[in-house]
Structure 1
């Protein structure tokens, strides 16, 4: 029995994207996230993915900080629990955000 390889998107460092974990849901498609660089930012879900992405506290997401306001960001992608634990096991997550157990 062979294990199926799942491909998960990774943050594009050239565009400034990074991993983050959702700390608190604020409502109105806004949330507070803890980012891989150690900063806490207010993130929002852009309109084109708002209804496709249901995000809870503790979820691993990819964010892109705004160029003109570094304390705010847009959510690009949300990982499922399985994808997050796979990234954790393959050591792709930074130590600060690795809460998904090994």
Structure 2
């Protein structure tokens, strides 16, 4: 069965130091508040390479890489489309 006929797409999965998160609040500029899969709320920073190309809104599913030196903050590494987020939910990767 091909990828197209099953409807399943290969999605970017988190590396060892990344976690799934849901954007709960847009704080203006390049900062958002995210609720991570590990149960923590973090301040997410949208890097310059994503800032104008990828619009991040409340409710979006993203990948966050927490900072080594300050665990309550992290960088947004990837944003999933609504279809990709539904697939992740269906496969049990996120709540």
- Give the TM-score normalised by structure 1: 0.84
Q: Which runs of 5+ in 1 are unaligned?
A: none
Aligned residue-pair number: 92
SS where residue 87 of structure 1 aligns?
helix
1:73-97 Cα distance to aligned partner (Å, 9 max, x none):
000000011000011111122xxxx
Cα-Cα RMSD: 1.4
Any residues of structure 2 matched to 1:81-96 within 5 Å, and which? 81-93=82-94
Are 2:16 and 1:19 aligned? no
> Which residue of structure 2 aligns with residue 6 of structure 1?
9
Any residues of structure 2 matched to 1:38-77 within 5 Å, and which? 38-77=39-78
**What's the CA shift for 1:48?**
1.6
Distance 2:71 2:55 in 1: 24
Q: Which runs of 5+ in 2 are unaligned?
A: none
**What's the CA shift for 1:5?**
3.3
Distance 1:23 1:4 in 2: 28
- Give the TM-score normalised by structure 2: 0.90
Find runs of 4+ consecutive structure 1 residues off by over 2 angstroms.
1-5
Distance 1:54 1:62 in 2: 14
